[in-house]
Amino acid sequence: MFPSYFTFWQKMGIYGLRLVAWATLAFLMIPILVIIPLSFNAEPYFTFTQGMLSLDLDAYSLKWYQEIWNDDKWILAIKNSFYIGFWATVIATVFGTFAAIGLTKSEMPLQSAFMALLISPMIVPLIITAAGMFFFYSQLNLAGSFTGVIIAHAALGTPFVIITVNASLSGFDYSLVRASMGLGAKPVYTFFKVIMPLIRPGVISGALFAFITSFDEVVVVLFLAGPEQRTIPRQMFSGLREQINPTILAVAVLLVVVSALMLITMELLRARSEKIRTGV
Amino acid sequence: MSTEMLDNSNNILSTQEIKDSKKNQRRRKLLALFFVTPLVIFIIVSFVLPIGTMLYRSFYNPTAAKLIPQTLSALSQWDEKSNQIPNADTLITFTQELKSLAKERKAGKLAEEINRSLPGSSSLIKFSARKIAKKSDQNLAEQGDQLLLALKKDKWKNPKLWRSIKKSGAIFTDRYYLTALDLKRNSEGEIVQRETKIYLKLFWKSLKIALYITLLTIIIGYPISYYLSTAPTKTANILMVFVLLPFWTSLLVRTTSWIALLQTNGVVNSTLQSLHMITEPMDMLYNQFSTILAMTHILLPFMILPLYSVMKGIDPSYFRAALSLGGKPIPAFIRIYMPMTVPGISAGALLVFIISIGYYITPALVGGTDGQMISNIIAFHMQSSNNWELAAALGSLLLGLIIIIYWIYDRFVGISNIKLG
């Protein structure tokens, strides 16, 4: 498997590299994989029991998953997370896509200054954003309301939409727009029938980024949301601080499933976007 | 010759056509702005203004100015260097305002404000407010000044006290920034260092933790990125899932996993115990070690992704050329290959460093007391001690630090080199 001219040390080097690489991948994956069996633990411990190690079926149970289902707090948190995430994504995607179209136009004045302004929510540490929003939104009576949290999450999500839509617009041929207009199409029609289909993968992946940003976000929720707006990460945060029990592990496993689904969608989109760009 | 050409070019387009083209140009500019404007307004209202008001709060302090407005405007006429106390009218105004404050139970607040510029004056002001509140309005209007001066053994005859009152009325203050930098003003008004350093130490510790995490992610991320970039595309795409799945997984999930792994009765301890490698469980959670370990795990994909994309773009024939020209593998790798990966390292390092320096959740959950970072103290002042102004000042300093790091990076590398995914 190695070229014959490779020396012993070169071969050892390649084996060593492979070993280190696999060790790194294990370091990345083990903490995520280890919670999956732990969440089926019949005992309220965060570790493997003797029974689990000997693969005794009685040592495993679904009771922590039932616990989620029976706990109003978790159900509310799940509903809230999807509700807030959905509206934040809609706002971020609509505003972000429009802005990205404007930003990539060569006539756009002060391009880099606008870009810096619109990307800034991604750069400023969340604790600063959260503190500032808490002061400001309280004065507007938006603290402790869904509107406040949704607006905050939409602001945090827009930079991702701008970046992904920008990337999909970078290979965009504006003569298509001129052709469409020249053939008599109205601007709105051109937007939905010519521009949109071509940048759709970028828009959707931006929307997914915006959704996951809101779905995972906890610092702003910690400061801005009242008990009515508790989301899944917020509920996990207080669970980890107050009384740790394996229900949190069960929730964590469900979240891993959600992120796996996201990842698969993203990869499919990427493949599609490459197809559009290369035209194959 | 050149004028001739200019004349010629003028003839190509008529004045009307030039006008039209300019008009068209302006129209396109407006159209581009039209697309961007909604988001710009949204971001300014929802994000920039909140942070702006927070910055403003860190040096804007109108408490005293709101409590005793008339006294302060009367004091502005008083010459504070004269070594004399203000005139009788000012004193009377002060007693009247003090009385109404005592009635509204706000005298304590004023005492606290003045006590900041003259430590030890709090009890005098509270005491005086109680006494003054018992006098009638008539009495105060006629001889409020004498009543005040008679209280507590001439203490009100000290011009220093009046200077402090005047000073506490300033609307803008550097006090919170001084506190955030472990400085204070002594009684002469000079800036001196505090005996116990709290915040500078914490800033320093946050920088140190962020630096450790950045170095660890480079050391761990470099070989795996190299391996992925040289592996066949199919293998690399499959292995990439192992990097991307953690990247997409909620940081709370990953923090939870580390708690499960590192607890006293957690997976690592019980495994080591059952293997008889240790007899007593080790304390691995709730300290700096667990903070750095969990954050390295969480931020590693932010290093691997830019490194991988840079390494993928490097032509392997350079390295092969160096080898075939007689270079030894290791020096050739260090001198030929590694310099080409610097853009990837620096982009990853910037991302990891900036994200980790302002991190809040993971230190709050696994940091214990020893792993707390600057964000945690900001949250503490926001939620527990209610010292919002100090929280704002600390936040502004953190923001300033991050902007400086960005600026340096942009100067030397360029922000546009960072790509997502």
Contact A255 B261 (CB under 8 A): no
CB distance A127 to A219 below 8 Å: yes
Contact B354 A123 (CB under 8 A): yes
Q: Which of A10-19, A64-73, A123-132, A168-177 has the lowest mean pLDDT?
A: A168-177
Note the pLDDT of residue B376. Answer: 93
When the pLDDT of each residue in chain B is averaged and rounded to a whole number, the result is: 86
Contact B378 A127 (CB under 8 A): yes
Tell me the nearest-neighbour CA distance from B265 into chain A, angstroms: 7
Chain B, 22 to 41: residues with Cβ < 8 Å from chain A are 25, 28-29, 31-36, 38-40
Tell me the nearest-neighbour CA distance from A4 into chain B, angstroms: 15
Residues of B in contact with A247 (CB under 8 A): none
Tell me the nearest-neighbour CA distance from B223 into chain A, angstroms: 6
Chain B, 182 to 211: residues with Cβ < 8 Å from chain A are none
Comparing A29 with B10, the larger pLDDT belongs to A29
pLDDT digits (tens, 9 = 90+) for B56-103: 988 888 888 888 888 888 888 888 777 788 888 888 888 888 888 888
Mean pLDDT on B257-275:
87
Whole-number Cα distances in Å, B345 to B9, B215, B307: 51, 10, 6
Res B24 pLDDT > 60: yes
Q: Which of B33, B47, B206 to mutate to test the interface with A (most CBs of A within 10 A)?
A: B47
Of the spans A85-94, A204-213, B179-188, which averages the highest pLDDT? A85-94
pLDDT digits (tens, 9 = 90+) for A154-175: 999 999 999 889 888 877 888 8
CATH for the stretch A63-278: 1.10.3720.10
pLDDT digits (tens, 9 = 90+) for B228-260: 998 898 898 889 999 999 999 999 999 999 998
Contact B42 A256 (CB under 8 A): no
Contact A126 B254 (CB under 8 A): no
Contact A127 B33 (CB under 8 A): no
Contact B361 A219 (CB under 8 A): yes
B241 near A CB under 8 A: yes
Contact A125 B249 (CB under 8 A): no
Hey, CA dihedral for A192, A166, A121, A265, is it positive or negative? positive
**CA–CA distance, B353 with B206 (Å, rounded to integer):** 10
Contact B261 A34 (CB under 8 A): yes
Tell me the nearest-neighbour CA distance from A48 into chain B, angstroms: 7
Note the pLDDT of residue B96. Answer: 86
Of B57, B249, B382, the CB nearest to A32: B249
Q: Which residue has the tokens 């300014």?
A: B44
Of the spans A162-176, B5-19, B178-192, B218-232, which averages the highest pLDDT? B218-232
Of A99, A244, A259, the CB nearest to B248: A259
pTM of the full structure: 0.85
Q: Which of B58, B252, B334 to mutate to test the interface with A (most CBs of A within 10 A)?
A: B252
List, as one string, the DSSP characters of B339-371: HHTHHHHHHHHHHHHHHHHT--HHHHHH-TTTT
Tell me the nearest-neighbour CA distance from B256 into chain A, angstroms: 7
The secondary structure of residue B173, as a DSSP letter, is: -
**Alpha-helical segments (H) within B78-168:** 88-103, 107-117, 122-133, 137-150, 159-168
Tell me the nearest-neighbour CA distance from A15 into chain B, angstroms: 11
What is the residue extent of each domain of chain B? 2-57, 63-171, 199-417
pLDDT digits (tens, 9 = 90+) for B124-141: 888 888 888 888 888 888
CB distance A193 to A234 below 8 Å: no
Topology (CATH) of B199-417: MetI-like fold (1.10.3720)
Q: Which helix (H) or strand (E) holds B185?
A: strand B183-185
Mean pLDDT on B176-200:
84
B380 near A CB under 8 A: no
SS3 of B192, please? strand
Comparing A231 with B32, the larger pLDDT belongs to A231
Q: Which of A19, A28, A174 to mutate to test the interface with B (most CBs of B within 10 A)?
A: A28
Chain Cα centroid distance, residue B333: 39
**CA–CA distance, B352 with B319 (Å, rounded to integer):** 28
Note the pLDDT of residue A2. Answer: 67
State the greatest distance between any 2 C-alpha atoms of chain B, in Å, as a whole number: 103
**CA–CA distance, B302 with B244 (Å, rounded to integer):** 10
What is the residue extent of each domain of chain A? 63-278
Plot region of B152 (φ>0 → left; ψ -120 to 50 → alpha; else → beta) = left
Q: Which of A27, A46, A267 to mutate to test the interface with B (most CBs of B within 10 A)?
A: A46
Note the pLDDT of residue B421. Answer: 42
Among B114, B31, B22, CA closest to B71: B114
Comparing B71 with A29, the larger pLDDT belongs to A29
Scanning every residue of chain A, which has its alpha carbon at the shortest distance from the alpha carbon of B43? A155
Tell me what ipTM this predicted complex has: 0.89
Note the pLDDT of residue B414. Answer: 66
Tell me the nearest-neighbour CA distance from A94 into chain B, angstroms: 9
Contact A158 B226 (CB under 8 A): no
Scanning every residue of chain A, which has its alpha carbon at the shortest distance from the alpha carbon of B251? A216
Task: Please name the amino acid found at residue B382.
Answer: M
Note the pLDDT of residue A279. Answer: 62
Both structure tokens of B327: 């270079």
Tell me the nearest-neighbour CA distance from A83 into chain B, angstroms: 18
Both structure tokens of A125: 């540490």
Mean pLDDT on A50-63:
81
